[in-house]
Amino acid sequence: MRSNQLTVFFPDAWSGRDQGHAEFWAKQVRDVIESRGGQFRVVLYHGDSLADYADSVLQQLEDIEDNAHVIGLGYSLGGQVLRLVNEKRPGLFSRHILLATSGPNGVSFKGFCRSLKVIIWRLLLGFTTGQIELSRSEFQKVFFNPTRPDDKNTNRLIGQAWKNSHPAKLWPWLEFYCPGLRRRTKPLSDRHSGTVDAIRIADDIFCQEKGHPNEKWRLVRTIEKGGHGAILNQDWIKKSLGSILDMTTEY
């Protein structure tokens, strides 16, 4: 990546509406970017739909000119928000990196089925509360499955991650997650190569895609274990994201 190049981080549904929570989940990504002389910014979501989230992000990025060398990095639901922002301002990002997220049509049916058995009751309750709130044990199964807290460090990390999360708003999550309600977005395409870079997590309960027929994934790095919360693992993110950033400076 270029020196002083800006990376904009799009957080997930359970941290994207609070600055402190979002910064906690983005920390390992920030460290990798800044260690290479890059700049880093975390956006937050406001509103009640993915479209609202995208509009709120666009307001936060009004100071960035089109055709600048800016990287958009989307984690989990943030990948869909990134796509919607790209639809509205296609000249904003010169490069896109997807981290533990889906293709342009949202979470696959397999991902939906894998995770539904964990969150089904919370999802149903969400239709009365308007949000999905996970207990600590449910949170562990969603974000760290199948990792077990068999040592103090892992157990401590799970506790910190749970405390640095908030309930996900129901409708934006359904637009990302639920068959029949998922919001379809246009495929991403980097300005120079026409491709997208991605980091997938092999045992992610939601998103295990290796690519998408309508979206060309160029550099795909795989984290073998850690679950959806592997973004918090310093070594894994340093290795996978670092290798993608070091491949080229043309963006």
Residue 152 has pLDDT above 90, yes or no: no
The superfamily CATH assigns to domain 1-251 is Alpha/Beta hydrolase fold, catalytic domain (3.40.50.1820)
- Degrees, nearest 5: CA angle 33-37-39: 60
pLDDT tens column, 175-186: 999 999 999 898
Each residue's pLDDT tens digit, 153-195? 788 889 999 999 999 999 999 999 999 999 989 888 776 666 7
- The pLDDT value recorded for residue 124 is 95
- Domain ranges across the chain: 1-251
Q: What's the pTM value of the predicted model, to 2 decimals?
A: 0.94
Cβ neighbourhood burial of 195 (10 Å; 0-12, 13-18, 19+): middle
Rounded Cα–Cα distance for residues 26 and 42 (Å): 8
47-96: pLDDT as tens digits: 999 999 999 999 999 999 887 889 999 999 999 999 999 999 988 999 99
**Cis amide linkage into residue 187, ω under 30° from 0:** no
